Amino acid sequence: MKLVFRGAAREVGRSCIEIQTKGDRYLLDCGVKFKEDGFAYPKGVFDVPDLDGVFLSHAHLDHSGGLPFFEHKNLRGPIFCTAQTFALAKVLLKDSYEVARIRRLHPAFSRVDLKEVRKDVHTVRFNEKFRHRELEVTFFNAGHIPGSASILLELEGKRLLYTGDLNVKPNMLIQEAKPSYGAPIDILITEATYGYRDLPDREEVAKRFLQRVSEVVKAGGSVLIPVFAVGRAQEVLQILSKKKFNVPIYFDGMAKTITRRILANPSQFIKNKDRLAHMFYDVVESPRNQDERNAVAEHQGIFVTTSGMLQGGPVLHYLKHFWHDERSAVFLTGYQCKRTNGRELLDNGYVYLKGWRTKVHCQVEKFDFSGHSDRKALEGYIRAVDPKVLIIQHGDPESVEALAGWARKEIGCEVYGPGLLDELEF
Ligand SMILES: [Zn+2]
């Protein structure tokens, strides 16, 4: 088999690995990368006519966002993913199309293409091996977001495992991934988002987060909590459920649709589902339009809303009401990409509100909740899988190098950190 790295090669974004066998061509993921002027697609993937199957690890757009473009180019092939991933990808792909249109980014596909993607999807169950052409395929829990999978392909007498995005540490929402795949793994393709960084203990982060929310509320301020729609939004609700606050909690933006989908399509790996359902259906309030948002933001409250990097969604609408109030706070709950409002707020204390660069006077703090494994966790995972060949991708060059250096020394397996369009043959 030959592997061609068409994205997420020494970068994060547009995940896509092509697998060529004797007569067939498959893809592991097909994502997009966000640029200021639109999306970057996997390199060269649309130039080859035949496609015999796509295996989708999870719903995030950096893994799924390229799918409608296939349909646009009339490249049809079955797309395999879990039912939960399908439920979430539908929402995220539709939203990416709407957002691209609103920002005049000329999305490279149309609404019709989104419908076509749905027709090609075959949903699969976790832990159940199935056959597709000459492949045997099994999806395992990856612990990253609801529905997320690591994908095991058995072909040409080899067992190849693609981790997708991976979380091997416990959190409130999803059971962590376990490194047990039935038999030894020949080729492990791992993500390396945090290949060179350790994250603080999640329980400690959650504790400090709750304490800080309490402090701000007690001092008379409001708390704005920007969240990612998938995973983080639900986990933040579960964490908030552990404490009583004497102010209302509001839940807004795309996180609402996603939470409904997660509760309607739970996999066996979702944890504390009742706690989440109770928070979502019985506790939080959900403003339905700008007037309602304006009305509730006039009073003290806790506002949990998308988008997580303050790039759109209702979050900026709320911020307009208390950016000048020193008693209030913005608590960021995830990674902030370069050139986003969230990063600008974190690094320099400014955001763009209605086109104006605005100095934010309320308190700003970041809490390191992550859906990925940190350096130590990745190392432990690789050690446990103990592959013959290790391929490292989905990480900055520093991350890939750090993990590769460690693996060469400690595991002694063959190690690769391929760049864009590099090919490996086994
Ligand atoms: Zn992801």
- Tens of pLDDT, residue by residue over 95-128, are 887 777 666 665 666 777 777 788 899 999 999 9
The CATH number that domain 202-366 falls under is 3.40.50.10890
* Distance (Å) of CA 167 to CA 31, 145, 356, 374: 19, 9, 38, 8
Place of tokens 């909740």: 369
What letter would DSSP give residue 308?
A: T
- Tens of pLDDT, residue by residue over 205-226, are 999 999 999 999 999 999 999 9
Instruction: Tell me the two tokens of residue 229.
Output: 């729609």
Distance 60 CA to ligand 1 centre (A): 5
- In Å, the largest CA–CA distance within the chain is 67
Residue type, 107: P
Q: How far apart are CA 263 and CA 87, in angstroms?
A: 11
Distance 59 CA to ligand 1 centre (A): 7
Backbone φ, ψ for residue 285 (5° rounding):
-110, 145
Distance 88 CA to ligand 1 centre (A): 12
Contacts of 167 (CB under 8 A, 6+ apart): 142, 143, 144, 174, 176, 177, 370, 371, 372, 373
Contacts of 157 (CB under 8 A, 6+ apart): none
Q: How far apart are CA 251 and CA 276, in angstroms?
A: 12
β-pairing, 2-7 with 423-425? antiparallel
- Tens of pLDDT, residue by residue over 292-314, are 999 999 999 999 999 999 988 89
Domain ranges of the chain: 2-197+371-425, 202-366
Residue from 322, 331, 280 nearest 299 by CA: 322
Distance 235 CA to ligand 1 centre (A): 15
202-366 and 2-197+371-425 share a CATH fold: no
Question: Does the pTM exceed 0.85?
Answer: yes
Distance 169 CA to ligand 1 centre (A): 15
β-pairing, 329-332 with 223-226? parallel
Report the CATH superfamily, name and number, of domain 2-197+371-425.
Ribonuclease Z/Hydroxyacylglutathione hydrolase-like (3.60.15.10)
Distance 185 CA to ligand 1 centre (A): 23
**Mean of pLDDT over the chain:** 93
Distance 231 CA to ligand 1 centre (A): 10
- Tens of pLDDT, residue by residue over 153-180, are 999 999 999 999 999 998 999 999 999 9
Contacts of 97 (CB under 8 A, 6+ apart): 68, 107, 109, 111, 114
**Do 77 and 67 touch, CB atoms closer than 8 A?**
no
**Do 151 and 55 touch, CB atoms closer than 8 A?**
yes
Residues in the chain: 426
Distance 144 CA to ligand 1 centre (A): 7
Burial 134-162 (b: 16+ CB within 10 A, else e): ebebbbbbbbbbbbbbbbbbbbeeebbbb
Say how many CA atoms lie within 13 Å of 316 toward its Cβ.
19
Distance 302 CA to ligand 1 centre (A): 26
Instruction: Tell me the two tokens of residue 182.
Output: 């039935």
* Distance (Å) of CA 45 to CA 7, 19, 345: 9, 11, 36
Distance 91 CA to ligand 1 centre (A): 15
- Tens of pLDDT, residue by residue over 10-58, are 999 999 999 999 989 999 999 998 877 778 889 998 877 778 999 999 9
Give how far the C-alpha of residue 351 lies from the chain's centroid of Cα atoms, to the nearest Å. Answer: 24
